[in-house]
Structure 1
Amino acid sequence: MTTVPDDLLVGLRRARDRIDRHYAEPLDLDALAATAGLSKYHFLRCFARTYGRTPHAFLTERRVERAQDLLRATNLTVTEVCWLVGYSGLGSFSTRFRRLVGCSPSEYQARWELSGPPRIPGCFVMMHGLSDRATQRSRSTDADRAIPEKARDVGAPGESSA
C-alpha cells in the first residue's frame, strides 16, 4: 500500500475537518475536493488511502455518531434527529443507522429512555441553539461581529495566520 505525500495531508485534513463541522449540510465530492485543493477522483483515492474509508463513509459515520448523541440525550423524535443530522429521508437514515449501530434508531432511543440522566427537551435544543446547526450559525454571526469590516477581506477562507 502506498502512502499519501505529506504535502497533500494538509488539504485532506482540511476536507475532513469540513465534514466534521458541516456534516448536517449537503456535502458533495466536488466541494470537498475543492477544499482539499485536489481533483475529485484524486481526492477520493487519497482520502480513502489516508483515513481508511471514503469521504461518504466518513460523513455517514459522523452523522450517525451525532444522531446517537441526540437520541440518547434529548427527547427529539427519530424524524427530528434525522433532519438535524443532515438526512432528507427517514428510510435512508434508518438503514444507515441500523447498518452502523446494529439496531434501528427507535430501538436505540428506547434503550436509553429509562436509563441515564434526564433528557433535554427537544424545544430547548431547537430554541436555545443546542443543535449543531443553530450553534454553527450563532458562532459565525458572533465571529463576524467581532471582526472589523476591513479585516474580513484580508485572507482567503480557511487560511490561518499562524
Structure 2
Amino acid sequence: MTLEDLVRLRRARDLMDRDYAEPLDVPALARFALMSPGHFSRSFRAAYGETPYSYLMTRRIERAKALLRRGDLSVTEVCFAVGCTSLGSFSSRFTELVGENPSAYRARRHDEGAAIPACVAKLRTRPVRNGEAGRGGAPVA
C-alpha cells in the first residue's frame, strides 16, 4: 500500500467520523478515496483492521450511546439521528458492540463516569465487538 493510498483512506475515515449520520456506503466512500470499491474495502481493512461498514457502525453506535445517555430522545429517534435506517439492525449492532440493548442502556444510570475527564471517558466507552475485548481492544463499557 502506498503512502498516497493511506492518505486517501484517512480522508475517507475522517469523512465517516464527520458525516456518520449521512447515508454513506462503500461505493460512495471508494469514490471519495478515488479507489474501486473492492480495492477500497481491502485496503481499509488492511490499514485499520476492520471493514469500512464496521468502522462506520462503530462510530454511529458511539454517538448513539451519547444520545441515549442524555435520555431526551427515544431509541427510534436516536437510531435515525445517527444515520441508521433500520431499528432492528441498529438494535442488533448496538447489543453486539455494547453488550446490552439500546433500551436497557438508555434506562440505566450513567452518572458513574461523571467525574472522569472526557478524553478518558471517550476511550473507555468506545464500543468494540465483544470478541475484540479479549484481544487488547478497548473494554466494553
TM class, shorter-length:
0.7 to 0.9
Residue pairs, 1:52-131, within 5 angstroms: 52-112=49-109, 115=111
Report the residue type matching 2:30 in the other structure. A
Percent of counterpart pairs with the same letter?
A: 54
- 1:111: how far off? 1.4
Distance (whole Å) between structure 1 residues aligned to residue 84 and residue 37 of structure 2: 23
Does the aligned pair in 1 maintain the 2:71–2:106 contact within 8 Å?
no
Distance (whole Å) between structure 1 residues aligned to residue 109 and residue 69 of structure 2: 6
- 1:16: how far off? 0.4
Listed one character per residue, the Cα deviations across residues 64-115 of structure 1 (whole Å, up to 9, x for unaligned) are: 00000000124111111011011112111100100000000011111136x4
RMSD: 1.4
- Give the TM-score, by structure 2 length: 0.76
Q: Residue 6 of structure 1 corresponds to which residue in structure 2? A: 3
Distance (whole Å) between structure 2 residues aligned to residue 62 and residue 85 of structure 1: 9
- The structure with the larger Rg is 1
Unaligned runs of 5+ residues in structure 1 are: 118-162
Distance (whole Å) between structure 2 residues aligned to residue 103 and residue 91 of structure 1: 14
Distance (whole Å) between structure 1 residues aligned to residue 71 and residue 104 of structure 2: 15
Does the aligned pair in 1 maintain the 2:20–2:60 contact within 8 Å?
yes
Unaligned runs of 5+ residues in structure 2 are: 115-141
Q: How many residues align?
A: 113
User: What stretches of structure 1 move > 6 A for 4+ residues in a row?
Assistant: none
Report the residue type matching 1:38 in the other structure. M
- Give the TM-score, by structure 1 length: 0.66
